Amino acid sequence: APVSRIRNFSIIAHIDHGKSTLADRLLQQTKTISERDMKAQVLDTMDLERERGITIKLQAARMNYQGEDGEQYVLNLIDTPGHVDFSYEVSRALAACEGALLVVDASQGVEAQTLANVYLALENDLEIIPVLNKVDLPGADPERVKQEIETIVGLDCSNAIEASAKAGIGIEDILESIVETVPEPEDNTKKPLRALIFDSYYDSYRGVIVYFRVVDGTLSRRDRIRLMASGKEYEIDELGVLSPHQVEVDELHAGEVGYISASIKAVADARVGDTITLVKRKAEEPLPGYVEANPMVFCGLFPTDSDRYEDLREALEKLKLNDAALQYEPETSSAMGFGFRCGFLGLLHMEIVQERLEREYNLDLITTAPSVVYRVTTIDGEVLNIDNPCELPDPQAREKIEEPYVKVEMLTPEEFVGTLMDLCQTRRGDFKDMKYLTEGRTTLVYELPLAEVVTDFFDQMKSRSRGYASMEYQLIDYRVNHLVKLDVMINGDKVDPLAAIVHRDQAYYVGKALAEKLKELIPRHQFKIPIQAAIGSRIIASASIPALRKDVLSKCYGGDISRKKKLLKKQAKGKKRLKAIGTVDVPQEAFMAVLKLN
């Protein structure tokens, strides 16, 4: 299609405000996808979404639409991931567009995630079309929500569209508005090729499938390409568009969106944000905005059964093919044996990887508590990045420790402001700003150590606000704090994976709470088990688990058999995820105990 008939857009929405439903509607209205295929697709993604509370991406779809002016348009919908851990990916997907639909649930209003994504869209100079969704609901109040968008986001809502993705209201208006409002791509067909990679995935038959937007020039299937960040060169095996299934084409020019396969071995070789150019006519500069993946959270992964170390290595290798941000290296611990130290973009990313390892590769893992990366300056002036608390240099050897800080922005109904401020205060937060936006909407801005946010901060925020508050965070800087290493001894053995880095002022409290918590979580054994918390050689807290007196079954000797079975089952279940440390069996929950103190 000529550039003047192409529109590239994405959809920005808070979780559950209707992004997927609206995308499906647009595909259906433009006859890109049949009724039958749509049902299948919707069903496929449902379970995972519900479980994780995240939106699974549809990646990209090309729709043909006849405008009211009678012209044929090509509308490319480029999907964005729906979670803060992936905000870099979101920003690259938005950079591939000229416009965005801002979908807001008209019965709810603006949420923190909506805001964060709108800021990213504005940074990328996108034209934004506000869509008030779910107007079919009796509680919908589109006028109030428009007001809210104008006040909070500063966006003119006079042309906002009232819609219901579910009932099919306003869909034609949305399509027409995309044609009218979203700018056409610049006609840069004559320039040397530059195409922005906004997504990629690994296919075991064809290698990596790369999704891109051509920004300058033309790409044809016979071209030899070069990826400017990775420096690698490839022959194209397949060039195509997504309608929404992959359909091969001969050529794509500036403004168009498509995919290639080129026998690329891992997504790390064709990362989101990289620029594709031609070997025979290279672009001078890559497109702006490329950033290396930078893991923020690290944890140890150990197989409960040490014989499965090699299986874990293979599984991580396979996951890595499809995950450029995942990092891992072997870690050996006297307590845990052989495992891996892994780095993730954030907590959700970490949970997704753990879950896939267990579900898809059938591994039983012990995961140690997540740690952020501390920047330690030694007395020799050397700067070390420490992502494992047990590797923190001794106090005599270090000059200072800096820890990463994030800016957290919360949106909450006014009534929860007090309890949320209290939460931030106990998590070493610095108050920055508070604004009453509209009736029932307040923003609260704090700067907090990332270490305090990767614990159960999000869960706490949700439960304290009965689910009404939402939050976003972004890394701002590193700050010096008085931090100490807290060691834990079980039965006299120091257990490295239980070590934590905490603020000096909280060390006593954390040590005591942790010892008590471990006492609760570690099952009784035939012998008494002392638990101690220490800073250096100083014991600051202790507790002990009394010895088991009787066999657990003797309690119901002669009792009814079903109760006995239940008990055995309970034991067997508890047994699944235990790690023997010396003579003590330590359950998985104990390794996460430090996150759940209150």
CA angle 72, 77, 78 (to 5 degrees): 145
Task: Rank residues 13 and 423 by Cβ distance to ligand GDP and give the closer one.
Answer: 13
- 564 touches ligand GDP by CB under 6 A: no
- 166 touches ligand GDP by CB under 6 A: yes
> Could you give the CA distance from residue 182 to residue 98 in angstroms, rounded to a whole number?
6
- 10 touches ligand GDP by CB under 6 A: no
DSSP run (H or E) holding 248: strand 246-248
Residue 428 interacts with, from Mg ion, ligand GDP, none (CB under 5-8 Å by kind): none
- 470 touches ligand GDP by CB under 6 A: no
Residue 134 interacts with, from Mg ion, ligand GDP, none (CB under 5-8 Å by kind): ligand GDP
> Could you give the CA distance from residue 336 to residue 297 in angstroms, rounded to a whole number?
20
Task: Rank residues 19 and 308 by Cβ distance to ligand GDP and give the closer one.
Answer: 19
In this chain, which stretch among 17-25, 132-140, 214-222, 311-319 interacts with Mg ion, using CB under 5 A?
17-25
DSSP run (H or E) holding 161: strand 161-162
What the block records as the tokens of 476 is: 């701002």
- 114 touches Mg ion by CB under 5 A: no
CB of 519 to ligand GDP, least distance (A): 41
Tell me how far CA of residue 451 lies from CA of 356, 372, 573, in angstroms. Answer: 24, 6, 31
Task: Rank residues 85 and 331 by Cβ distance to ligand GDP and give the closer one.
Answer: 85
What residues from 43 to 72 belong to the interface with Mg ion (CB under 5 A)? 55
Give the distance from CA 356 to its chain's centroid.
14
> Could you give the CA distance from residue 461 to residue 423 in angstroms, rounded to a whole number?
8
Phi/psi at 175 (nearest 5 deg)?
-60, -45
| Three-state secondary-structure class, residue 97 | coil
| Three-state secondary-structure class, residue 449 | strand
In this chain, which stretch among 131-139, 228-236, 284-292, 293-301 interacts with ligand GDP, using CB under 6 A?
131-139
- 113 touches Mg ion by CB under 5 A: no
Residue 137 interacts with, from Mg ion, ligand GDP, none (CB under 5-8 Å by kind): ligand GDP
Residue 428's nearest CA partner among 461, 450, 445, 396 is 450
DSSP run (H or E) holding 553: none
Is the torsion defined by CA of 27, 30, 35, 36 positive or negative? negative
Q: Name beta bridge partners: 11.
A: 101
- Single out the residue of 10, 20, 218, 368 in contact with Mg ion (rule: CB under 5 A): 20
DSSP run (H or E) holding 214: strand 207-216
- 17 touches ligand GDP by CB under 6 A: yes
Q: Decide: 542 and 531 in contact? Cβ < 8 Å.
A: yes
Q: Decide: 452 and 429 in contact? Cβ < 8 Å.
A: yes
- 99 touches ligand GDP by CB under 6 A: no
What the block records as the tokens of 117 is: 């994504």
What the block records as the tokens of 573 is: 């279940």
Task: Rank residues 84 and 260 by Cβ distance to ligand GDP and give the closer one.
Answer: 84
> Could you give the CA distance from residue 495 to residue 518 in angstroms, rounded to a whole number?
12
Task: Rank residues 104 and 499 by Cβ distance to ligand GDP and give the closer one.
Answer: 104
Task: Rank residues 352 and 592 by Cβ distance to Mg ion and give the closer one.
Answer: 352
> Could you give the CA distance from residue 557 to residue 535 in angstroms, rounded to a whole number?
46
Residue 221's nearest CA partner among 192, 200, 257, 249 is 249
In this chain, which stretch among 14-22, 89-97, 174-182, 369-377 interacts with ligand GDP, using CB under 6 A?
14-22
Tell me how far CA of residue 264 lies from CA of 49, 226, 233, 274, 573, in angstroms. Answer: 29, 12, 9, 14, 42
- 81 touches ligand GDP by CB under 6 A: no
- Single out the residue of 10, 30, 55, 124 in contact with ligand GDP (rule: CB under 6 A): 55
- 165 touches ligand GDP by CB under 6 A: yes
Task: Rank residues 55 and 371 by Cβ distance to Mg ion and give the closer one.
Answer: 55
- Single out the residue of 8, 10, 19, 446 in contact with ligand GDP (rule: CB under 6 A): 19
Task: Rank residues 13 and 268 by Cβ distance to ligand GDP and give the closer one.
Answer: 13
Number of residues lying near ligand GDP (CB under 6 A): 16
CB of 178 to ligand GDP, least distance (A): 18
CB of 79 to ligand GDP, least distance (A): 10
Task: Rank residues 207 and 244 by Cβ distance to Mg ion and give the closer one.
Answer: 244
- 137 touches ligand GDP by CB under 6 A: yes
User: Edge-to-edge strands of the sheet including 238-242?
Assistant: 233-235, 224-227, 275-278, 194-203, 207-216, 257-261, 238-242, 246-248
What the block records as the tokens of 192 is: 């040397």
- Single out the residue of 1, 5, 21, 445 in contact with ligand GDP (rule: CB under 6 A): 21
In this chain, which stretch among 13-21, 360-368, 371-379, 458-466 interacts with ligand GDP, using CB under 6 A?
13-21
Chain contacts with Mg ion (rule: CB under 5 A): 20, 55
Chain contacts with ligand GDP (rule: CB under 6 A): 13, 15-21, 55, 133-134, 136-137, 164-166
